[in-house]
Amino acid sequence: MSYQDPRDPRDPGTRRYESGYPESQAYSQAGYHAQQPMEPQRRERPRLGPDINPTMFIGGVVMTGVVTGLAAWLAAWIIRAIVERVNEAGRFGVWNPLARDEFWFAVVGFLCALAAGALWYVLQLVTPSPDQFFRWIVGLLIAAAVIIPLVLSAEISVGIATAILHLIIGVPILILVPTMGHKSINRS
């Protein structure tokens, strides 16, 4: 049994020295013994998580929060304006579907968007299909935020108004956070 060097160009099973391989000409021109010993190649560790531009991602998530907050504020303001008109007429008695101020919904929308951005990033790090999990988690939370006020509110008008505001907060988050995440991935 003879020992054969894996770098030996005479070994027909070594793919490295087959015709067409770039280094095969160096062996045929310089000869086998003139070649320097090969150094082991260093492997880089695979990067965990997405290769994102953190400034772009954080900026996108913050702007998603701003859009969500503005949408929630505007919807709450419109509902309040309708309520004031109805209450001025006095036909329906005193009707107030919003127990909170419009700014409360804006702040909640902004904070929910920030939390969703953090959730998206963590899912990118620890799950095999992060966008699927993000859509399911946020979708279920939106469904709960819409259904719970409808079921638990003493007055149906309060439940409907709150459910609409929760839906207006949830939809931009569901759409914009993954979009911002994918747009901030570094393309090499």
Provide the pLDDT for residue 126.
Answer: 92
User: Phi-psi bin for 99: left (phi > 0), alpha (psi -120 to 50), beta?
Assistant: alpha
Provide the pLDDT for residue 7.
Answer: 64
Contacts of 34 (CB under 8 A, 6+ apart): none
d(Cα 26, Cα 125) in Å, to the nearest integer? 44
**HSE toward the beta carbon, residue 184, CA cutoff 13 A:** 21
What tens digit of pLDDT does each residue of 112-147 get? 999 999 999 999 999 999 999 999 999 999 999 999
Separation of CA 162 from chain center: 26
Q: What share of the chain is helix, strand, coil (3-state, %, to 5)?
A: 65, 0, 35
Compute the residue count for the chain.
Answer: 188
Can you tell me whether residue 52 is helix, strand or coil? Answer: strand
With b for 16 or more beta-carbon neighbours within 10 A and e for fewer, the 86-117 pattern comes to beeeeeeeeeebbeeebeebbbbbbebbbebb
What burial class does residue 38 get, using C-beta atoms within 10 Å of its C-beta: 0-12 exposed, 13-18 middle, 19+ buried? Answer: exposed
Judge if pTM exceeds 0.75.
Answer: no
d(Cα 18, Cα 58) in Å, to the nearest integer? 50
Strand-pair partners of 185: 52
Joined together, the tokens standing for residue 149 give: 């006020």
Joined together, the tokens standing for residue 184 give: 């901030």
Q: Which residues of the chain have pLDDT under 50?
A: 34
